[in-house]
Every structure is written in C-alpha cells, then in structure tokens.
C-alpha cells in the first residue's frame, strides 16, 4: 500500500508537479526537533531546550526494488529521489518518471514514518545494470564517495556541460552569491546545523535553494525539483554550495547539465579533475571578493589577464 505521491502530467508545455497536500505539512514539522541541553556560559549553568536539525534515513526504491538509503533532513523527499536518479544516470527528464510515492511503513503506534519512497519509471526506460547491482548506504556527510570514475560520469551524462550555451560571469557577480545564499537559509538560522545549495541565474538571481543535513542531498533536492518542473538541463545556471566541493557534487552538477559549480570552501583534487575533463567551471574559496577558479576559466569574464600563469 502506498502513501501520498507524485505523478507527472503529460502534454506540450506541461510542468511535472509534486503533490504535497497533507504530507507537505507533516514533513515540515520534522525538519527540526527539540532536545534538552545543558548550557554552560562563563561558568553559569542552565538547562534549556535546543532546536536541532532532524536527521532520518530515507530508503529509495526503483521500480519496487531497494536501491539506496541516505541520511537526510525530511522534506522534499520526492525531489531528493528524482535528483539522486539524475546523478546516477538513470533518468534525465520528468517524462521518464511515471510516479513517485511514499511506501506504507508504520511505527508501533501505527504512524507512517514516510521514510521509504518508490520511484516507478515510465514504460520503456531502461535501468543501467550497474544501478541495480549496487545497493548503497549513504551518510549525511558523504553520498556515493568514490563510486564513479571520471570516465563513467563523462560517458553517462545526457546533458554535457561542455556543450552548454555560453555563460559568462564576472567575479563581482560570483562574489555576491554567498551572501544571497546565506540570507535564504531559514532553517540554518534556527539550528546552525544545515548545509545549503542554491541555483542562481547567470544574472545572479536566486532561482531555488534547499537545506539539508547532507550537502549532496541539498543538491539532489534542487536537481529533482528542476526535473519535475521540466527545467533540465540547467544549462544557464550556477550551483553554489555552502561547504566544500567534492567529486560527488561536481558529478551531480555535470549530470544535471549545470555549467558552473561554486563553493565557499575548497574543492577536492578529484572534483578538479572531473571539472577539467567535463568542461565544468569550478570555483572554490568563494569568500568576500576573492575566489579560486580551478577549471573552466573561460566562463569567467576578466577585465585584465595580468597575473595569470
């Protein structure tokens, strides 16, 4: 028995929307939880309740078969599942999804946990063999660490970023993005414990933002929402993440057709290698007015070429 879900609508120009109804409201209450804490400040001790970010497992099933378990902040679960499948090369558009539903699963009190989703693919969509052979567990800090090779990502994407329309960004525009992301982190303000990912237009307009205990989940939620809204590939977007830029995040950007990935912290060596191989522009240490461009510098509009090796 299935719970609330999403099914695409078909037809020219139709958007693929998720049904939120009552489940949207029930999940909102699970984004944060209250726990007692002993507070010590300058020698003074007090007991108080603190607001913490929620972390729960989500099992993703594909055509009824278990595929992956990820530790996430509840909410936007259908988008998370869809985005995960995009990053795995299973789907590339909303018309390849027949439905996404919560599976029945109750606690001893008879309450549905909403921690299992099943993605049913549209007829004719072929699942890569490697996807079903691999049953993975992903943590909130690391998704599919080291799973894919550079060649696998380059050959499996259906939205090559090297073939994306030309995008040119000034350093000044990029430098303004972290503050815009921070201003949109509403749950972080209450907990101090969430990563965030945001999509910006090439003009610097905030298009969408998602928060999650895992940065890879936040990106999957962005990509999944774009898929269900019929906006893939995101060929004119900039993806900004609140932490470091790992290989996995570069992989997710490439698979969604995002030409620019920026991070406020450092990238990994493998992320830089993937960016260089795929044509992705990778920016790290985006803080204040400074940044490092590790790959794809042709998308950065510089007034002068001096000081470059």
Can 142 be counted among the known catalytic residues? yes
- Do 253 and 283 form a contact (C-beta atoms < 8 A)? no
What is the C-alpha separation between 217 and 80, in angstroms, rounded?
A: 6
For residue 79, the SS3 value is: helix
How far is it, in rounded angstroms, from Cα 182 to Cα 107?
36
Question: Choosing from 7, 121, 142, 150, which is the catalytic residue?
Answer: 142
106: which DSSP letter?
B
- The answer to whether 6 and 20 are in contact (CB under 8 A) is no
Question: Minimal CA–CA distance to 270: which of 251, 284, 286, 285?
Answer: 251
- Distance separating alpha carbons of residues 53 and 62, to the nearest angstrom: 28
Distance CA 156, CA 14 (A): 27
What are the tokens at 153?
């990502």
Whole-number Cα distances in Å, 26 to 20, 22, 48, 80, 227: 10, 6, 25, 17, 24
Through-space distance between the first and last CA atoms of the chain, rounded to whole angstroms? 62
Q: What is the DSSP letter of 298?
A: G
Q: Which residues are catalytic?
A: 142
């Amino acid at each position: 028995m299935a719970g609330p879900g999403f099914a695409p609508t078909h037809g020219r120009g139709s958007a693929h929307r998720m049904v939120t109804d009552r489940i949207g409201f029930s999940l909102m209450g699970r984004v944060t939880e209250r726990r007692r804490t002993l507070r010590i400040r300058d020698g003074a001790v007090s007991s108080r309740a603190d607001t913490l970010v929620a972390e729960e497992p989500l099992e993703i099933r594909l055509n009824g078969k278990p595929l992956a378990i990820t530790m996430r902040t509840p909410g936007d679960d259908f988008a998370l599942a869809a985005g995960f499948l995009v990053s795995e090369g299973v789907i590339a558009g909303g018309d390849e999804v027949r439905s996404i539903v919560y599976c029945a699963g109750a606690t001893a009190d008879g309450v549905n946990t909403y921690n299992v989703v099943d993605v049913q693919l549209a007829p004719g969509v072929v699942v890569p063999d490697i996807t079903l052979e691999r049953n993975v567990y992903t943590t909130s800090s690391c998704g599919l660490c080291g799973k894919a090779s550079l060649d696998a990502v380059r050959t499996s994407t259906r939205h090559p970023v090297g073939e994306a329309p030309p995008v040119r960004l000034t350093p000044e525009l990029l430098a303004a993005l972290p503050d815009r992301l921070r201003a949109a982190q509403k749950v972080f303000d209450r907990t101090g414990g969430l990563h965030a990912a945001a999509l910006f237009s090439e003009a610097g307009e905030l298009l969408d933002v998602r928060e999650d205990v895992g940065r890879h989940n936040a990106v999957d939620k962005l990509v999944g929402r774009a898929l269900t809204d019929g906006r893939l590939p995101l060929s004119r977007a900039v993806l900004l993440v609140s932490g470091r830029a790992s290989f996995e995040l570069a992989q997710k950007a490439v698979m969604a057709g995002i030409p620019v990935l920026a991070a406020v912290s450092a990238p990994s060596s493998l992320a830089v290698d993937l960016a260089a191989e795929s044509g992705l522009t990778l920016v790290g240490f985006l803080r204040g007015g400074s940044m490092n461009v590790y790959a794809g510098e042709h998308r950065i509009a510089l007034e002068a070429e001096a000081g470059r090796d």
